[in-house]
Structure 1
């Protein structure tokens, strides 16, 4: 039976910091939800790749874009910019970067569990 829970990003379960940003993680029920706060100059391939240890982000994402503009390039070459009010579903295999001088805030409903966490042999899909 599902129970009522109330959590807030004002007091996240975990905060993972990295150059030019942070991932705030909330554990709610059996799920983890992330709020990614990415500062101007942030790029996954520069700031998170050294943590993940993979050539591109291998974490799939289902995200709501709250603030700022995020450039995204899939490994197949598909490229676009997501902005406030957009929802993106990204399979594994991508790079991303902040476009412009406004911080990006994204709520990630799917890919936050292991994002920006060092890859391990039994769980290589962390991006």
Structure 2
């Protein structure tokens, strides 16, 4: 457990496949910010929301909702929190510090519609 989040990890070649279980009431600012030493999570997340809901706020104030069942792609520079009374379960594909480059993701949050 890290900051109340259950993390199960299995390596498959160069990717770590992780099951992250965020408990009800979890939020980045309260539970992980100090542990990670950063106001925002600076890691990209790509995977599948298998259960529950997480809202993610980016540095520019934009908020995105991810509710199961849904594909998830979150750029670095965000914080998040669980919505509701159900744990949020994310199956994540993680290339550690190379996730952004290997998956061709933007290095910061952007708006697809230009807003």
More helix by share: 2
Between Structure 1 and Structure 2, whose CA radius of gyration is higher? 1
Residues 63, 87 of structure 1: 8 Å contact kept: yes
Are 1:31 and 2:15 an aligned pair?
yes
| RMSD value, Cα | 1.5
Report how far residue 80 of structure 1 moved.
2.0
Are 1:103 and 2:94 an aligned pair?
no
Runs of at least 4 residues of structure 1 off by over 4 A?
Answer: none
TM-score under structure 1 length normalisation: 0.70
- The 3-state SS of whatever aligns with 1:102 is coil
Residues 28, 79 of structure 2: 8 Å contact kept: yes
Q: Deviations over 1:58-117 (max 9, x none)?
A: 001112100001111111111021111211211110000000000010011136x47xxx
Report how far residue 21 of structure 1 moved.
1.9
Structure 2, unpaired ranges of 5+? 98-115
Structure 1, unpaired ranges of 5+? 1-16, 115-127
Aligned length: 97
TM-score under structure 2 length normalisation: 0.77
